[in-house]
Amino acid sequence: MARRLLIVDDEETLTFSLYQSFILSKKDYEVATASSGEEALDKMSSAPFDLIITDIFMPGISGIDLLKKVKSDYPATEVIVMTAYGSDEKKDEVAGLGAKHYVEKPFEMKAVREMVFNILG
Amino acid sequence: MERMDRLATLGELSAGIAHEIRNPLAGIKTSAQVLEESFSPGDFRSQLVSRIVKEIDRSNKLLQRFFNFAKPNRPKPGFHSLKNIVDGVFLLLAPRLMKRKIEYSCEIEEGLPNIYIDESQFEQVILNLFLNAYDAMPDGGNLNVKTWYDKSGRVMAEQESKGVVIILISDTGKGISQEKLERIFDPFYTSKSDGVGLGLSISSRLLEENQSKIEVNSVPGEGSAFKIMLPFVQEDRQE
């Protein structure tokens, strides 16, 4: 069964390019995107994802709230958090909430892809 | 107080700008990297895309400096040898200093206690001060470091009787006029044609975060001296 990856960010250029990157990686992943935390939770309720890559600062439900909700309702789902406004405090906070990785934008796509490959296989 | 208010406002503004620019930069960089992989490495289009990525990284480095100023990471202090830190920064710049015929001397008081500081933040401060001295001496000169332990601690009111470690970094460069001295720690203030004006403001901010202080004395035509004052902390008493 294909592993499922959800990319969540209100920055459409980033979600589109990440989506393309994983489609082109020739891995047997089912990749989807969401432009908000609300849309991500909607998609999760239909069929949970194995991994979510989410931004922190989004209108509506923030990436932090999404991380909390996912970790409480879907504990098997791993989360990678990305942000354009990073700090040590934020990194510690998301690690404490159970995020697998924390990346600051703009990141090296290869590095993020490696993280995903390591988690999803 | 007025300067602190301006620092806070500019800091928040810088962070906001950095945030709004980094998001699109992330989209451009990821798109470029996906595109880059679709060309063979020798293809000129791949080389062009690779240049886009390099320019994004260059812009991001500048933004990172704004971030460092706006919101320095919280210090992770530990006990460190001042000599090791200063020597490390000197080694980094030694080839440049030699090339410009800048004589370097470092006088560390014997038995100087270890300093309690965030090592990488303090390295950044020393590096900024060395680079400023380098820029102030285009035709060579002397860069001197002198450190000592002031047991009285009188130079920092709150440290009286506990002691202060002092680091004096002086150069024989162009010096700074009184008018410029008053603004030298202000963010975005620079007298260099290619400067951003954040080096000294970041240094001052980082030292404040580490409960330390910096002062400057300068005589135009003779040189400048920056005095860093670090509160002494007993090594068996981490605070």
User: What is the mean pLDDT of the segment spanning A97-101?
Assistant: 97
Residue B186 Cα distances to B4, B128, B167, B180, angstroms: 9, 15, 22, 10
The predicted structure's pLDDT at residue B141: 96
**Cross-chain Cβ contact A87/B71 below 8 Å:** yes
DSSP-assigned letter for residue B224 = E
- Residue B41 has a pLDDT of 85
- Return d(Cα B232, Cα A1) in angstroms, integer: 62
Stretches where chain B sits below pLDDT 50 are 1, 238-239
Burial A99-112 (b: 16+ CB within 10 A, else e): bbbbbbbbbebeeb
Other Cβ atoms closer than 10 A to B86: 20
| Res. A39: pLDDT tops 80 | yes
Residues B35 and A22 sit within 8 Å (Cβ to Cβ): no
Q: What is the pLDDT of residue B135?
A: 92
**pLDDT beyond 60 at A58:** yes
Q: What are the boundaries of each domain within chain A?
A: 3-120
The Cα–Cα gap between B193 and B116 comes to 36
Q: Is A106 on the interface with B (CB under 8 A)?
A: yes
User: What is the pLDDT, as a whole number, of residue B238?
Assistant: 47
Interface of A with B in 34-93 (CB under 8 A): 57, 82, 84-89
C-alpha span between B185 and B201 (Å, rounded): 5
Give the rounded distance of the alpha carbon of B144 from its chain centre. 17
CA–CA separation, B160 vs B139, rounded Å? 41
> Higher pLDDT residue, A12 or B237?
A12
* pLDDT tens for each residue of B76-87: 899 999 999 999
What percentage of chain A carries pLDDT values higher than 90? 87
Q: Per the CATH hierarchy, to which homologous superfamily does domain A3-120 belong?
A: Response regulator (3.40.50.2300)
Burial class of residue B8 in the structure, from the number of CB atoms within 10 Å of its CB (0-12 exposed, 13-18 middle, 19+ buried): exposed
The answer to whether the CB atoms of B26 and A84 lie below 8 A apart is: yes
Nearest CB partner across the interface for A105, out of B15, B26, B73: B26
Q: Give pLDDT, residue B20.
A: 83
Write out pLDDT tens, residues B153-199. Answer: 676 767 666 789 999 999 999 998 888 888 878 766 677 666 666 77
The pLDDT score that the predictor gives to residue B239 is 46
Name all domains of chain B by residue range, CATH numbers in brackets.
2-70 (1.10.287), 78-231 (3.30.565.10)
Distance CA A53, CA A33 (A): 9
Chain position carrying tokens 């934020």: A90
Write down the ipTM of this complex: 0.91
